[in-house]
Amino acid sequence: MKHTGFPAALVGLMLAACSPAAETGTETVADAGHQADAAHTESMTSAAISEADLRYRISTLADDSFEGRAPATLGGIAASQWIADEMARIGLEPGHGDSYFQPVALLAVTLDTDQSSFDIAFNGEPLGLSMSEDVVYWSKLNSSDITLDNSELVFVGYGVVAPEYGWNDYEGLDVEGRTVVMLVNDPGYGNPDSGLFNGNAMTYYGRWTYKYEEAARQGAAGVILIHQTAPASYGWNVVSGSWTGTQLDLARAPGEGQFASVESWVTEARARQMFDLAGLDFDALTAAAAEPGFVPVPMAGLTATGHLVNSTETLESRNVVGVVPGTARPDEYVLYTAHWDHIGIRDVPEGEDGLYNGAVDNATGTAAILEIGEAFVANPPERSVMILAVTAEESGLLGSAYYGENPIVPYDQTVGGINIDAILPTGRARDVVVVGHGASQLEDILTEAAAEQDRYIVPDPNPEAGYFYRSDHISLAKKGVPMLYADGGFDLVEGGREAGEAMGADYRANRYHGPADEYSEDWNMDGMVEDTTLFFNVGSRLANSDAWPNWYEGNEFRALRDAQRSE
């Protein structure tokens, strides 16, 4: 269903809604859309953490009328307005001065694919890479016209500089003006027994964000990331789906920030073709890249040439924040985060569904933190609780990164936080998965609270996927704040691990970042209710104590936190 945008009546209300007045909770599009069940809304949500409340909020946020909640679109504006109204309705206080909104300025860069080109040539002979099929490319430069001219290719392994491991894939290499080609994930993935890079669990060095950041720091003009499904932990469809269309970043002036001219991914098939042409053994070099002392390899005869035409625009999105003031130590805050945004609408052939409703990702998490906020209003804690729904997570954790740089509450007053991102409607699970397990003392509190539900804690079964670096808690963790990112597990009460893993695999294969991630009345909500209750209990223990949980000894964020708290 090629989406034709909002019905006229709704657009009228929207414009009314976007006026400053809207921030104070006057009637908005969302309410207009749900006028029929306004009375229903009032009576339906309660202080208790309930299936009905979660269903109401998830079905609302994942409704077509919010158009997949892309930041700075009509759908995104309406959804964030609805969240603010919901915060006001359930009794949360405005969390940003007298507003529920923390504005987040974004830079939207849209590549004009008709006028742009990017290709690899072998001895001047173009390979004819086609956009989306073989390659996706873009530029983060705040510029309308970018060129890359016969830039020589060099393979830099995993493209990592990690002093703590004595590792430098750019050792003695000048990549100024050149195009670096690299593998996704980190050397620990390729060589888990090396004892380096946290073994098979992905470190931040394995994340695409780090790869482009490091290549830019090194002065590369072009960057080519080789996509392989296993080390990336997602298919090419996610790459071609996520990196085409308008790219968002935190707003910055032209020339601000350090970026390669052209950033890209290529398919494994095309990468193998390039290695063959250059007379290089792809598999042997992939193995060598995971060995200490790897030496980068020029890819003889291969050059990259591109001409990118961008239109850039500064947009504004917003984090939505509400607070339950503490009764005894109101200056100390416990944080709950969840991103409200999703992918929005994609251009698709007539008859296909281009609307990415983002029901699991992350209407569930947003609904859960609202539900938790409502429960705290009814059970006022000693410390304050902040409910923070962030924007632009799908574009690179931008809303939380913005909060990270512009915290509303100083970090030495932020006790810790819980991030909720994508709760699968699997039914109750005996286990609770901790993403980035073994990081902080928050896990001790979680273990106790889970035991009350007769549940046990397990590490993330896919540490190589690097989920710890792929959601909003990392923006706060990077600032030293102990953050927990956990989720219902796979050892289901009904169907056991087999059923749980099958559901997880089905979600990842068929609905993750796809138009099929839609809400359904036949979802089994038992697990979601139990998980939301668990996260409430963890926060309640923290908010009704004077504990200051820290990162465990040796954790990458511990030193930062110690310094923060010592002040």
Q: Which chain residues interact with Zn ion by CB under 5 A?
A: 361-362, 421
Select 86 or 361, whichever has its Cβ closest to Zn ion: 361
Contact between residue 109 and residue 140 where contact means Cβ atoms under 8 Å apart = yes
What is the smallest separation between the CB atom of 362 and Zn ion, expressed in angstroms? 4
Contact between residue 119 and residue 133 where contact means Cβ atoms under 8 Å apart = no
What is the smallest separation between the CB atom of 422 and Zn ion, expressed in angstroms? 5
Q: Which residues pair with 351 in a beta bridge?
A: none
What is the smallest separation between the CB atom of 436 and Zn ion, expressed in angstroms? 15
Q: Which residues pair with 385 in a beta bridge?
A: 324, 334
Select 60 or 305, whichever has its Cβ closest to Zn ion: 60
What is the smallest separation between the CB atom of 393 and Zn ion, expressed in angstroms? 6
Closest listed residue to residue 119, CA positions, set 218, 224, 212, 216: 224
Please report where in the chains the tokens 């007379």 appear, as a residue. Answer: 279
What is the smallest separation between the CB atom of 130 and Zn ion, expressed in angstroms? 29
- CA 277, chain centre distance (Å): 36
**How many helices (H) and strands (E) are present in the chain, helices listed first?**
18, 21
Select 102 or 362, whichever has its Cβ closest to Zn ion: 362
What is the smallest separation between the CB atom of 517 and Zn ion, expressed in angstroms? 10
Select 218 or 233, whichever has its Cβ closest to Zn ion: 233
Select 85 or 421, whichever has its Cβ closest to Zn ion: 421
What is the smallest separation between the CB atom of 61 and Zn ion, expressed in angstroms? 13
Q: Collapse the DSSP code of 84 into the 3-class scheme (helix H, G, I; strand E, B; otherwise coil) and give the result.
A: helix
Q: How many residues appear in the chain?
A: 567
What's the angle, vertex CA 176, arms to CA 174 and CA 182, rounded to 5?
Answer: 75
Those residues with Cβ within 8 angstroms of residue 214's Cβ, 6 or more apart along the chain or in another chain: 159, 160, 161, 170
User: Looking at this protein, which amino acid is placed at residue 470?
Assistant: R
Contact between residue 299 and residue 280 where contact means Cβ atoms under 8 Å apart = yes
Distance in angstroms (rounded) separating the CA atoms of residues 359 and 365: 9
Select 72 or 423, whichever has its Cβ closest to Zn ion: 423
Select 303 or 362, whichever has its Cβ closest to Zn ion: 362
Contact between residue 107 and residue 249 where contact means Cβ atoms under 8 Å apart = yes
Contact between residue 341 and residue 423 where contact means Cβ atoms under 8 Å apart = no
What is the smallest separation between the CB atom of 394 and Zn ion, expressed in angstroms? 7
Please report where in the chains the tokens 């990162």 appear, as a residue. Answer: 551
- Number of CB atoms found within 10 A of residue 438's CB: 12
Select 332 or 421, whichever has its Cβ closest to Zn ion: 421
Select 58 or 223, whichever has its Cβ closest to Zn ion: 58
What is the smallest separation between the CB atom of 240 and Zn ion, expressed in angstroms? 19
Distance in angstroms (rounded) separating the CA atoms of residues 516 and 506: 11
